[in-house]
Amino acid sequence: MDFEPRIIGIACNWCTYTGADLAGTTRLKYPQNVRTVRVMCSSRINPSFVIRAFQLGADGVLVGGCHPGDCHYGTGNLYARRKLAITKKLLEFAGMEPGRFRVEWISASEGNKYAEVVESFTNDLKALGPQTRFRIGKERGGGQ
């Protein structure tokens, strides 16, 4: 069986989560590899969430927020942008392959973009294979 990567998505309520809903209401089709956690703002994302997702065995982590400047809370995603850029560097410094952590700005009207991002990220991760560097404990869980 082909390797099916498992992606943890963390999406802000106002833009990316709503954009993902729009992809659904317009019946776009994309791979089912992403499981999304909803937070109110991308600025809520603690870098430890990302690291934890990898420890839990995620093959990729996708963070989605409003476009910089369009944050529902004004400036939240500007902080998120800086923090997540450092997180990315930290992950790579600690040995994570580049390309497993992706941050995308997807607005509530960009259902198309959401579907495209999930599709391309899934394909990238398929090429990278299973993530083992950060995973703690048991083998990949069942289900897939």
Partner 1 sequence: MSRIGVFVCHCGLNIAKTVRVSELAEFAGTLPDVVVAADYKFMCSTPGQEMIQNDIRKHNLDRVIVAACSPLMHEKTFRKVIENAGLNQYLLSIVNVREQDAWVTENEDEATAKAKALINGAVYRARLLQPLTARFIDVNPDVMVVGGGIAGIQAALELAETGKKVYLVERNSTIGGHMAQFDKTFPTLDCSACILTPKMDAVLQNPRIDLMTSCEVEEVKGFVGNFDVKIRQKARYVDHDKCNACLACTEKCPGKGVSEWDEGLVKRKAIYIPFPQAVPQKPVIDRDACVYFKTGKCRLCEKVCPQGAIAFGQQDTFREIKVGAVILATGYDLMDTKPLLQYGYGRLPGVYHALEVERLFNAAGPTGGKVVMRDGKEPQSIAILHCIGSRDKNHYEYCSRVCCMYSLKFAHLLKEKTHGDVYQLYIDMRAPGKAYEEFYNRLVEEDVKFIRGKAARVTDQSDNPDFAGKLIVEVDDTLTGSFIRIPVDMVVLSPAMKPRADAKEMARLFNLSTDKYGFFMERHPKLAPLSTMTEGLFIAGACQGPKDIPDSVAQGTGAAAEALTIVVKDRMELEAATAVVNPSACCGCQNCVRVCPYGAPVFKTDKQVSEINEALCKGCGLCAASCPASAIYTRHFTNDQVMAEMEGLMQF
Binding-site ranges for partner 1 (CB under 8 A): 6, 8, 10, 13-15, 17-18, 20-25, 27-30, 32, 35-41, 43-46, 48-49, 52-53, 56-58, 69-70, 72-76, 79, 83, 107-110, 115, 141-144
Nearer to partner 1, 98 or 141 (CB): 141
Nearer to partner 1, 46 or 120 (CB): 46
Give all strands of the β-sheet with 60-65 in edge-to-edge order.
34-39, 7-12, 60-65, 101-105
Nearer to partner 1, 127 or 136 (CB): 136
Between CA 59 and CA 108 the distance in angstroms is: 26
Shortest spacing between CB 99 and partner 1, in angstroms: 19
Nearer to partner 1, 56 or 90 (CB): 56
Closest CA to 65 of 108, 123, 101: 108
Nearer to partner 1, 70 or 92 (CB): 70
Shortest spacing between CB 124 and partner 1, in angstroms: 19
CB 23 within 8 A of CB 111: yes
Shortest spacing between CB 17 and partner 1, in angstroms: 7
Shortest spacing between CB 86 and partner 1, in angstroms: 12
Q: In the structure encoding, which two tokens stand for residue 45, read together? A: 């994302």
138: CB partners within 8 A, 6+ apart: none
Q: What are phi and psi of 61, to 5 degrees?
A: -125, 130
CB 115 within 8 A of CB 9: no
Shortest spacing between CB 134 and partner 1, in angstroms: 12
